[in-house]
Structure 1
Amino acid sequence: MPMSTYVQSIRDRIGHDFLLLPGVTAVIRDGERFLLARHAATELWSLIGGGIEPGEEPSEALRREVLEETGAEIRILRLVGAYGGDSLAAETPNGDRVGYVTIAYECELLGPAAPDMDELVELAWFDRDAIPALARHEWIDRVVADAE
């Protein structure tokens, strides 16, 4: 998905300097299995989520992001935690430096899900024990552990 107009307006003023952004993460599970997505840009597996737009409630941002990326509706069950720090910081291919603070929610999938093939190239269920062997964003390990 392209950069939001809000983030673009900030980038127009600050260039590639570090930008801290709020986000949301869906911990979609089926027992001990977790739904992960492989991202087109990085080829890494991660949980599904994205940015919160100005004026948007985090729960609504989560519903929007999951629907955009998978075509599926969710039911939010509970808050898992909030995450940030160096493991959620990155530099994009164009040189933009960014860090995220994300709010993770445990969710139930309400219908079939399929990757949008724009941001995501694959969706798959993984047992908790299989996740550490994946090429993944390692910060998700903390989220999955907290989802006990």
Structure 2
Amino acid sequence: MATPDFVLTLREKVGHDELWLPGVTAVVLRGAEVLLVRRADSGAWTPVTGIVDPGEEPAVAAEREVLEEADVIAHVESLSWVKVIDLVTYDNGDRSRYLDLVFRCSWVSGEPFPADGENTEAAWFSLDALPALSADMSERIKVAVIGAESTRFER
């Protein structure tokens, strides 16, 4: 499901006004490989991303999104980066801004495939042979791979 039910309910009340939503990026590593998905809406390769459900722990959301989107079981190791995503305006006029929590995750099991229809492909890529990525997605992967002892906070 591309848009969670709780967001659709909020949209009934606020229309296209800007929503502030918590999001996650799961950078799943298997040795020197990273899990990427190709988004059905834009065709872009990205790590798995998603919205945190109301009351859901963010690390649980990251693991859930990886399972839902790529049929891979992953374990969150650490919070790598906390950042605010620039305002997103969707084709229908909805506006959202996300507090993105980038998690470094380790692969537990499963071979990726596009499990829920949000993506057209899911695959492992060598960290030294990534497909074309946006600068933002490249930075999310880089920060998670470095695996610093402390979380990066934007200021």
User: Same fold, TM exceeding 0.5?
Assistant: yes
Aligned position for 1:85: 85
Identity %: 35
Partners of 2:50 and 2:116 lie apart in 1 by: 16
SS at match of 1:139: helix
- Say which is worse superposed, 57-66 or 120-129, in terms of deviation: 120-129
**What is the root-mean-square deviation in Å for CA atoms of aligned residues?**
1.8
Alignment-mate amino acid for residue 143 of structure 2? D
Aligned position for 1:99: 97
Q: Is structure 2 residue 69 aligned with structure 1 residue 69?
A: yes
Which blocks of at least 5 consecutive residues in structure 2 are unaligned?
A: 147-155
The alignment covers a number of residue pairs equal to 144
1:17-42 deviation line (CA, Å, top 9, x unaligned)? 21121011111123443211101011
Alignment-mate amino acid for residue 97 of structure 1? R
Partners of 2:134 and 2:12 lie apart in 1 by: 28
Aligned position for 1:16: 16
Name the TM-score, length of structure 2 as normaliser: 0.83
Q: Is structure 2 residue 47 aligned with structure 1 residue 52?
A: no
SS at match of 1:68: helix
Aligned position for 1:34: 34
Is the 8 Å Cα contact of residues 51 and 61 (structure 1) preserved in structure 2?
yes
Would you identify which runs of 4 or more consecutive aligned residues in structure 1 move more than 4 Å? none
Name the TM-score, length of structure 1 as normaliser: 0.86
Which blocks of at least 5 consecutive residues in structure 1 are unaligned?
A: none
Alignment-mate amino acid for residue 3 of structure 1? T
Aligned position for 1:122: 121
